[in-house]
Structures are given as structure tokens and as C-alpha cells.
Amino acid sequence: MIDFIERPIDWQAAAFLCRGVTENAELLRTVVSLLSQAVGQGHVCLDLEEIAEELVRIPEREEPLRLLPDVASLIAALRSLPTLGGPGEHCPLILDAAGRLYLYRYFRYETLLAEAIRARAASVSLEIDEAALAARLDRYFGVDKSGEDRQRQAALAALRRHFSVISGGPGTGKTTTVVRILGLLLEQPGEARMRIAMAAPTGKAAARLASSITSLREALPCADEVKRAIPSQVTTIHRLLGTIPGSTGFRHNERNPLPCDVVIVDEASMVDLPLMTALVTALPPHARLILIGDRDQLASVEAGAVLGDICCAAESPVSFIAGCVTVLDRNYRFGDGSGIAALSRAVNAGDHSEALRLFADSGSGIALEATPTRETIKKRLVAPVLEGFRPCLEAKTPAEALRLFDRFRILTALREGPWGASGINHAAETFLNEAGLIRLDSQFYRGRPVLVTENDYNHKLFNGDTGIMLPDPETGNLRAFFAAPDGTVRAIPPEFLPKHETAFAMTVHKSQGSEFDRVLMVLPPEDSVLLTRELIYTGITRAKQSVTIWSDAAVFSAAVKRRTERRSGLRERLVNS
């Protein structure tokens, strides 16, 4: 059974792409609408095998819309469409040999990305002296007697290949490894002037990486000039590529490549297919690309699950990227025995019974409490809200308030409703107002935390940045304060803020790229397709010290069992030669 959510945009796309068709017109419009719907849901293509012989229904309607025929009939019908072509043709719709139907744009992204990765993965740097390299790796990582030091293996892959990926959950040492790789790269003879660019999908993630690099590089076992050559500037990917106002293109592209020798991208799980393709096509041929991320996290908001697909493809021994991907699985921050680490492992493995058992061990930094009802949720929120935000709202300086704000956050699965970010923000504002910690006299009030929801290049504010509105200590004027990557704070007049939301509570999706000491994650009382393993894992791993989840055990278990799968052909394109 396939649910077809009647979005006008999907019917319009189908009507346009099937215009003038008389034979099988209804069937073709349904299939093309399903493709448009799939892309809207983050899939890159529609897999005909998957929809063949399925009933299509519109939820809430009793009569199913139609029964789709078998794959051969679907393909035969599609071939009559003048807008359909095969790989290599320039048509609005592309059907590939594996029975995947694409909008042309996405087919092009996917094939360009696979080709660019292939070209880079194949370029093994042979000039490295093996014995000298082993000695240098020993200096950075210690002697690896067991041969199982994954961080060292990740460094080796990054040095040997021009495409490599380091995946791991929080605290597995991804940043530590990257900084060591930077030291190793820069110490190579004649490489002191290597041009290194580092980027992340959001300003917040960029700032976090920049501050980690600044503190980690000092401890490297290398000469001071190498440490000094390690850049601490991290930018957003959009800024690195150079957005062009009013266009989806970038200043840097195949014809105007990025002026760098190494590009490192953090939080790569958040990068969607179009942006990753733009990045790889803007790399000069000799440049090295290192992707850092957590393959188990929620995929990008837009189309594709690029990092997940790359990691999955690399598991195949016949893939040309086998050996390019290293998964770090040892948790150095929490220790493997910590509650958060154990819980995130159980969730990742889909082992909901083990996860529920872990909650029963009190005192390990994790708790599961029943979701409050519509009637009781406000009352239940009072204590965590007052306790969680009081320190930040009583802070003496903007810098202190920003630091304290990261101690606690409420994360939600939904945007709207009593269990969603907007409902909880509204409730939080009410209690904080009643407690005298804020005064709700205008939308710009003292103590209002804000989450930026679009990129604003003029004010250097990016989607995902969080700030707090406070009086400027010098002038007394209300300003929105944001942490800058260099550790200082920046003040922006509230009227200059790009689109933003209140941020006492935020969705798990929006929290990607951030970490907080304590997290309260609120799930709705009813199961829904939005509740997935990746969502739960991402929410839990935002917490550094403790996480409390409000969910009924059955809803939690159903969510842990449900995997997000995004249809794409990338995995196969990275395996087949």
C-alpha cells in the first residue's frame, strides 16, 4: 500500500510532465506524482520495483486510488512519455537500467557525485615513504600493537587517498583525528604551504569545529611552525562555495575551482545531494576531500542520505571506495559503559528491549518518563523549564548567557502542537514570564533565545545559529548576541535578524550540529512515521551529560524499530565499476 498525500505541487508536476499524453494518462500521472512526492520526502528517485503491483491510496479516503501494474508494464507505459529518457539523455525524466525513475536534476547530481568520488578515490598518493609514514603515525597515535586503532587507520586513509570519510558518534575522536591528520599533512616535505579549507553545513557546527581545533592543535606532537600552519578558520559550505544572490549556483564550480589542496567537511550527514555535488565538482582535480560525520544520524533535510550511502557502499569489498571509509566506534568522551553511549548503541542496533532495560538502571544519565497528556504537559514542563533556563536568564554577561544556554535544551520530534517545539516554547515563555525571569512585553524581549532558520550572508548569520536577546552591556540597547567562531560574541540589532524562531525548545532536526549538557526529548503520545531510529539516536547524542526522554515505552520501541530509508542509486553507483 502506498500513501499518496495529495499535494497540489505533485499533481501539477505530473500534469506538466505528462502533457499531451492520451494512452495510460491516469496511470502515468499517478507514477509521476509519486516521484514528485518521493523527492518532496527526501528520496532521490522512485524505485519502480517497490511501487509495482501496490495499491495507491489517499489517506482518509476509503476507495483506493488505483492498483499499479507490474514493473514491465510500468516501464512500457513510461517509455511512451515524450518527457522520458535514459542515462545520457537530456530529458525531464530519466529511467535508469535498474528501474529507478528520476527527475533529470537529481539523476545528474547523483551521477556527477559518483563520478567525482570515483576519480578521487582512485587517486592514491604513492609518493609517501611507507617507513617514514609509519614512524610519523606512531608519533601522533602511539604504536598500534593490536593493529586495531581505527583513528590511525582513518589517518592513513586520509593521507593515502584523495577521498576519505571518518564516521563516528559523538566523542569517538573524529575531531582529534582530523587535527592529527592536519599535522601529518602539513609536516610532509614541501607541504607547509598546503591550502586547507574547512567547512560545516551550519555556522554553529563551524564554530564548534573551529574552537575544538584551536584547543587541540597545541597538544600535537609536532613542531610549532606546523601547529601554526593548521588553520582554525571554519566556514559554512555555502560560504566556501560562494553563493550567488538569486541563483542556486555557486561562484566556485568546475570552471572556477576552489583555491585549495585539502577540503575538510564536518557534520557531513547534514549535507544533501545537491550541495555535496556542488562541493565535489568545485574541487580542483588534485585536492583531497575528507568528510567527517555520523552515518547513523538523521539525514539531510533535503534530498538524499549522501554520507549514509557512501558508508554503506564502502562496506562492499568490491566497491571502489572500500578502504576510503573508517568508522570510529570507541567512545572516549563517555567511556563505552556510560548510559548515553550504551543507549545510543542499543538504539542504533534497533534493540529496543535493551534500550528499555538500560533506562531501568537508574543513575546512568538516562531516563524514560511517560509522555504527559495534553492536559498535564504544561504542568510537567514548569520544573524543567525553570531549572533549565534560570541560570542562563540570570547570567551577568551575554557571553556567560550563551555558555549557560548550551547547558540545557528541550528537543522535540514535532514542530507544532502541545508536544511540538512551538507549543513547548509558548508554554516555556508563559512560565518564565510568571516567574519574572523574562518579561513578555514584545516579540523582542530580554532573554529570548533565537534560532536562525535561513542563511543571511550580510550579517554572517546562518541557518541553525542560536543567540540570545539581551541588553548591550555598553549601551543598554537590546541586541541578539551570537557566539563567534573565535570565542567572542557578536551583537546584532533584533530588527536585522533573518528569519528566526524562539529556541527554548527546538526540533531534533534543527538541533543537528549542536550539543548540550542536558537534554529533555519530548515525543508525542501517538506513534507516527516521523518517529524513527535516526531521530531518536540524533536526539540522544545531542546530550553530553544526561538525557531524559518523555515517551511511552511502546511509542519509543516503535520509533527505534523504524528506519529512515531514502531511495537513491548512489550506493550502487559507488559499488559498480
Q: Which is nearer to ligand ATP, 160 or 330 (CB)?
A: 330
The set of cell numbers assigned to 434 is 510568571
CA dist list (Å): 511 to 104, 111, 207, 445, 504: 32, 31, 14, 23, 12
171 is a contact residue toward ligand ATP (CB under 6 A): yes
> With binding defined as CB under 6 A, does residue 332 bind ligand ATP?
yes
Q: Does 176 bind ligand ATP (CB under 6 A)?
A: yes
Nearer to ligand ATP, 212 or 511 (CB): 212
Instruction: Give the one residue of 24, 175, 348, 371 binding ligand ATP; rule: CB under 6 A.
Output: 175
561 touches ligand ATP (CB under 6 A)? no
496 lines the binding site for ligand ATP (CB under 6 A): no
**Window contacting ligand ATP (CB under 6 A); options: 173-181, 183-191, 249-257, 408-416:** 173-181
Does residue number 449 form part of the binding site for ligand ATP (CB under 6 A)? no
Ligand-binding annotation for 494, yes or no, is no
**Is 488 labelled as part of a ligand binding site?**
no
What whole-number distance in Å separates Cα of residue 358 and Cα of residue 501?
A: 35
Work out whether 99 is an interface residue with ligand ATP (CB under 6 A). Answer: no
Residue 172 annotated in ligand binding: yes
Residue 344 within binding range of ligand ATP, rule CB under 6 A: no
What does the DSSP assignment read for 473-527?
TTT--EEEEEE-TTS-EEEE-GGG--SEEE-SEEEHHHHTT--EEEEEEE--SS-
Residues 32 and 59: beta-carbon distance below 8 Å = no
Closest CA to 539 of 521, 525, 523, 526: 521
Closest by CA to 571, choosing from 311, 316, 309, 322, is 309
Q: List the one residue from 42, 99, 168, 467 that touches ligand ATP (CB under 6 A).
A: 168
Question: b/e for 340-374, b at 16 or more Cβ within 10 A?
Answer: bbbbbbbbbeeebeebbebbeeeebbbebeebbee
Total binding residues for ligand ATP by CB under 6 A?
13
Q: Which is nearer to ligand ATP, 176 or 412 (CB)?
A: 176
For residues 512 and 307, is the Cβ–Cβ distance under 8 A? no
Q: Exactly one of 42, 99, 170, 365 binds ligand ATP (CB under 6 A); which one?
A: 170
Nearer to ligand ATP, 296 or 501 (CB): 296
Grid coordinates in use for 466?
542560536
The neighbour count for residue 164, using CB atoms within 10 Å, is 26
State yes or no: 499 annotated in a binding site.
no
Of 59 and 147, which CB lies nearer to ligand ATP in the complex structure? 147
329 binds ligand ATP (CB under 6 A): no
Q: Which is nearer to ligand ATP, 333 or 561 (CB)?
A: 333
175 labeled part of a ligand binding site: yes
172 forms part of the interface with ligand ATP (CB under 6 A): yes
Candidate list 43, 100, 136, 174; residue touching ligand ATP; CB under 6 A = 174
Interaction between residue 333 and ligand ATP (CB under 6 A): yes
293 is in an annotated binding site: no
Residues 128-167 close enough to bind ligand ATP by CB under 6 A: 151
Q: What is the CA radius of gyration of the chain?
A: 25
Q: Specify burial of residue 382 (Cβ count, 10 A radius: 0-12, 13-18, 19+).
A: middle
Distance CA 1, CA 54 (A): 5
Q: Is 227 annotated as a binding residue?
A: no
Residue 538 touches ligand ATP, criterion: CB under 6 A: no
Q: Are 450 and 469 in contact (CB under 8 A)?
A: yes
Q: Does 485 bind ligand ATP (CB under 6 A)?
A: no
State yes or no: residue 326 binds ligand ATP (CB under 6 A): no
174 assigned ligand-binding residue: yes
Three cell numbers at 86? 535514459
Which residues contribute to the annotated binding site?
168-175
Question: For binding to ligand ATP (CB under 6 A), which residues are involved?
Answer: 151, 168, 170-176, 212, 332-333, 515
